[in-house]
């Protein structure tokens, strides 16, 4: 968050608050938990799961940076409001996908989580 704060000319506190607000807004903790639940019966499955974790962390950072640059304000709520306004359709699509996945029983597979990650990437 220090790098994001410096890059976007925000305080570290503001960048960190924004980061955690986005985690809540997009249910990224739920997403991370689904990645953790992926089976790792083989070395390749373990590598794939780790790659998804890394990608999620990178997208969280990129998304925080993107949202921070949409507003001159240091206030995370103001930055989020500008982001919601600009990306409303994409945000709604991702949230709808997450809700659909939550209704499914059992562990989500690599393919589904990869698609969700791709949607998240489109927001960043």
Q: Which domain holds residue 68?
A: 2-123
> Got the DSSP string for 35-79?
HHTS--SSHHHHHHHHHHHHHHHHHHHHHHHHHHHT-S-S-HHHH
Q: What global pTM score does this model have? A: 0.87
10-residue mean pLDDT series, the chain (124 residues):
82 92 94 92 94 94 92 92 94 92 80 90 85
The token pair at 63 is: 């998304």
First-last CA distance in the chain = 15
Residue 96, pLDDT score: 93
CA–CA distances in Å: residue 27 to residues 12, 24, 30, 32, 120: 22, 5, 5, 9, 11
pLDDT more than 70, % of the chain: 98
Q: What total number of domains does the chain contain?
A: 1
Residue 33, pLDDT score: 93
Residue 7, pLDDT score: 84
């Amino acid at each position: 968050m220090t790098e994001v704060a410096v890059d976007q000319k925000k305080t570290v506190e503001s960048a960190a608050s924004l980061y955690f607000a986005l985690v809540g807004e997009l249910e990224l903790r739920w997403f991370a938990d689904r990645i953790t639940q992926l089976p790792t019966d083989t070395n390749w499955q373990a590598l794939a799961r780790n790659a998804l974790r890394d990608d999620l962390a990178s997208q969280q950072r990129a998304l925080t940076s993107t949202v921070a640059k949409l507003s001159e304000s240091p206030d995370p709520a103001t930055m989020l409001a500008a982001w919601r306004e600009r990306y409303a359709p994409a945000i709604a699509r991702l949230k709808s996908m997450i809700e659909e996945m939550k209704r499914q029983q059992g562990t989500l597979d690599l393919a589904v989580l990869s698609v969700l990650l791709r949607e998240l990437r489109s927001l960043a």
